[in-house]
A and B are shown apart, each in its own frame.
Chain A
Amino acid sequence: MNSVQLASFSNQAIYAALFVFAIAFFAHAAEVAWSVKNIEGSKTTTFDFTKTERAGRIGTAMMVLGFLIVVIAVAARGLSAHRVPWGNMYEFSITGALTLCAAYLFSLAKWKLRWLGLPVSFFTLLTLGTAIVVLYRPSEQLVPALKSPWLAVHVSAAIISGGVFLVANLVAATYLWMEVVEKKAERPAWAKRIPSLESLDQLSYRLIAFVFPLWTFAVIAGAIWAESAWGKYWNWDPKETWAFITWVAYAAYLHARVTVGWRGRRAAWLCIFAGSTFLFNYIYVNIWGTGLHTYSGL
């Protein structure tokens, strides 16, 4: 296949992945919806997940399939341009969707987090959909400033961190939701398979503690690259500034947990705040911001 064919193959793969993730989303939705059981004569609703086990399995299978298709799409996109596929916001987004799925599938294998499948498939659909509809750019060569081995190092570290930050945010949001649910009464049946508040709290902490050094590395790799491309390792460019703010926010989160002993609700809110500084950087600075990081192609 030549470059043009590869690029169009990549696009078709993204459309195929959208279809597969849509199935995954509906399967996960059905898993919850069809397990609703009304007990006759009483007002309480219970959930019987034994009957919807198959829907859940289909959901997971589709997540894995979708993940593999996105891997192929990203690889084909990279091959079509003879470089790593992180040259503009479209490419960054499809790779971001990929790492989000990877972070989920890893957590699924390790901690049995199938309940996260519904939000993760939703966010993957959202990211891929916006990417192909709004952010799409034809596959082309990089501008000279991006031609550096640091592109692979710096951007991959940033994308992986972003994927894990998003998963940590979903877990923290689930914590807050479950807390509200538990306050009223005992957890209803549908929420029983979601881990305990304590495990959710621990999980979001562990995800962040795991990825914080990587994010630090992403910022530093960016500084090293900036030194060779722009003449200064730190320019207070809007994207750098917000990367720094994200770093400070997560540093505060880790301190709050480790030294001050924050747990539970406060920690979850801080986690969500830190994650939103990352999203703000990704959306606002890429699209409306000015500065040196203007590679979104928009």
Chain B
Amino acid sequence: MGFIAVMRWGWRQLTSMRTALILLMLLGVASIPGSLFPQRNQNPQKVDQYFVSDPTLAHWMDRLKLFNVYASPWFSAIYVLLFISLIGCVLPRTIDHMKAIGKKPPLTPKNLDRMEGFRVLTQNNDVALQSAKIWFKKNHFRVRIEGNSISAEKGYARETGNLLFHLSLVLILVGVALGSLFGSKGEAIVNMGERFVNTPTSYDTLSFGKFQGQGSLVPFELTVTNFAAKYNALTSMPEDYTLTTSVANPVGSAAKSVVIKVNKPLKYGNTKIYLQANGYSPVVLIRDKSGAVTFHGPVIFLPQDANLSSIGAIKVPDMSPQVGFIASFLPTAKSSKTEGVFSSYPEVLNPELVISAWQGNLGLDSGNPQSVYELNTSQMKKIGLRGLKLGDTYDFGVGSITFEGWKSWVNLQIVDDPGKMYALFGAIFAILGLLISLFTRQRRIWVKVGTRVEIAGLAKNGVPGLNEELDDLQRKVEQG
């Protein structure tokens, strides 16, 4: 076999329906591990736990991309092959179907007695063909009359729907691909009262699709003017989040007030701005020994539980030696003998800031990136621990810290997905095609007149109802 022959053979194999089906099943099977093992983009902490508890196993799992299944080469390989196979399978069928639209039904078979619902009419009726033809026309069959027989067919829409469904799946895949190649997705935490300008540097995390440029972000600015959260007094479950913002697009244009809620993102074309999470930033004032202010402002803390107990780090590089704090903010502090101090409600009713003060080198100049929420205490020593109520000041020897208040923060997720409309239309057409193909019955019916009148039919996929139809036709022909 020459090269071309091998390629041809390969293409035929790939585009056969059997291969497409196997690939579809394979895609289903391949998506299972992603639901059983934690995924890096969904639950990075759990992935880290795997690395702590069994590093060798975790390392191998990582090499097999089990922590990142849906972006892995093997998963992509399956869906790219499925995509090609689907196109190769459906396109030729679509062309055949288009050609068949204008065509007549196939000729009447020689032996009707082998077909379904075969029946012979007792009387020989001269006008049998004529009355059958009227019946067929009335019931919207395609009719082919050849000599003394009629071949009729109905239900071409079945294949139309079938093809529409499969082409729509291709459209969905196109939408998914466009979204991942030309989209962007980022997150930013913004304190109440602060302004967010949509440029790459404003984000905490931001990722672009392969073919998406940095300059493609919508040039809006957004100021958080108010954030209100409502909780269930008994269960602490959130009931409502309302974020009020003042937005301007482009930057500098007239600002208007916009409310963003969990199910109501702000929209600019393909870009949407979502309210994704919220928490608290305690406001602290730190002075050195001389009384000069070395830090003043809100510090973002990360919530740890449903009652929004939050932890964070306060770093003061401008003191010598440097000072840092590991702190937890409790919106409604409560203490018990067994659990110590904890938060009993997510709203701020009785705020407390529990801090431990550290002195030494913050390690900010080492060049290694550091989390703003954690304090690297490897070169520091603990100099004190204190619980602060609102307004309290703690003098830790080399300076003092005052717990002045708190602000809410919101996590904004900003997503640009230019492919989602294609995916949506694909989905709508897919359902439409599915309904047409599953609820259309395709069948052929033949009438033959010779020494006697014969009627028979053939229903595709054995769908029921053919016999009733043949009964009706028989009655019509017998009545003449």
Task: Name A's B-contacting residues (CB within 8 A).
Answer: 138, 140-145, 147-148, 150, 202, 209-210, 212-213, 216-217, 220, 223-225, 227-238, 241-242, 244-245, 248-249, 251-252, 255, 257-259, 285, 289-291
Contact = CB atoms under 8 A, between A and B. Distances in A.
B35 A285 contact: yes
Contact of B31 (A220, A225, A244): A244
A235 B42 contact: yes
Contacts of B235: 138, 140
Contacts of B28: 244-245, 248-249
29 contacts: A140-B234, A140-B237, A142-B239, A143-B238, A144-B239, A144-B261, A145-B262, A145-B263, A147-B262, A147-B263, A148-B263, A213-B431, A216-B430, A220-B430, A223-B423, A231-B274, A232-B415, A233-B417, A233-B424, A236-B39, A241-B32, A241-B34, A244-B28, A245-B31, A248-B24, A248-B27, A252-B21, A255-B21, A258-B461
Contacts of A233: 417, 420, 423-424
A144 B238 CA distance: 7
Contacts of B434: 212-213, 216
A199 to B, nearest CB: 10
Contacts of A150: 263
Contact of B272 (A143, A220, A231, A234): A231
B265 interface: yes
A232 B417 contact: yes
Given A216-B430, A241-B32, 4 more contacts: A231-B274, A232-B185, A233-B424, A259-B17
Nearest to A213: B434
Contact of A143 (B27, B237, B428, B438): B237
Interface string B424-437: 10011011001100
B438 A228 contact: no
B263 A144 contact: yes
B276 interface: yes
Contacts of B32: 241, 245
Contacts of A291: 42
Contacts of A229: 262-263
Nearest first, the 7 closest Cβ-Cβ pairs linking A and B are A248-B28, A238-B35, A144-B262, A241-B35, A148-B263, A220-B427, A141-B239
A251 B433 CA distance: 14
B49 interface: no
Contacts of A259: 17
Interface residues of B, number: 50
B240 A144 contact: yes
Contacts of A138: 235
Contacts of A244: 28, 31
Contacts of A225: 263
A154 to B, nearest CB: 12
Given A141-B237, A259-B17, A241 B31 contact: yes
Interface in B382-441: 413, 415, 417, 420, 423-424, 427-428, 430-431, 434-435, 438
A225 B427 CA distance: 14
Contact of B35 (A144, A148, A255, A289): A289
A144 B34 contact: no
Contact of A231 (B42, B240, B415): B415
A190 to B, nearest CB: 27
Contacts of A202: 464
Interface in B22-51: 24-25, 27-28, 31-32, 34-35, 38-39, 42-43, 46
B70 interface: yes
Contacts of A285: 35
A248 B457 CA distance: 33
B17 A224 contact: no
B438 A212 contact: yes
Nearest to B415: A231
A253 to B, nearest CB: 11
A245 B34 CA distance: 12
A114 to B, nearest CB: 22
A227 B420 contact: yes
Contacts of A242: 35
A126 to B, nearest CB: 25
Contacts of B176: 234
A127 to B, nearest CB: 24
Interface in B250-278: 261-265, 272, 274, 276
Q: Which of A150, A210, A231, A233 has the most CB of B within 10 A?
A: A231
Nearest to B75: A236
Contacts of B461: 257-258
B241 interface: yes
A291 B464 CA distance: 44
Nearest to A244: B31
A250 to B, nearest CB: 11
A137 to B, nearest CB: 9
B56 interface: no
A68 B70 CA distance: 45
A7 to B, nearest CB: 13
Contact of A220 (B42, B417, B431): B431
Contacts of A210: 438
B76 interface: no
B427 to A, nearest CB: 4
Nearest to A208: B438
Given A140-B235, A290-B43, A228 B21 contact: no
Nearest to A145: B262
Q: For A141, A150, A209, A213, which residue has the most chain B Cβ atoms within 10 angstroms?
A: A213
Contacts of B438: 209-210, 212-213
Given A236-B34, A289-B35, A290-B43, A231 B427 contact: no
A185 to B, nearest CB: 28
B271 to A, nearest CB: 11
A147 B428 CA distance: 24
B207 interface: no
B420 A231 contact: no
Nearest to A248: B28
A209 B21 CA distance: 18
B24 A251 contact: yes
A193 to B, nearest CB: 21
B214 interface: no
A257 B461 CA distance: 8
B294 interface: no
A87 to B, nearest CB: 10
A232 to B, nearest CB: 7
Contacts of A245: 28, 31-32
Nearest to A227: B420
Contacts of B39: 236
B232 interface: yes
Nearest to A209: B438
B232 A252 contact: no
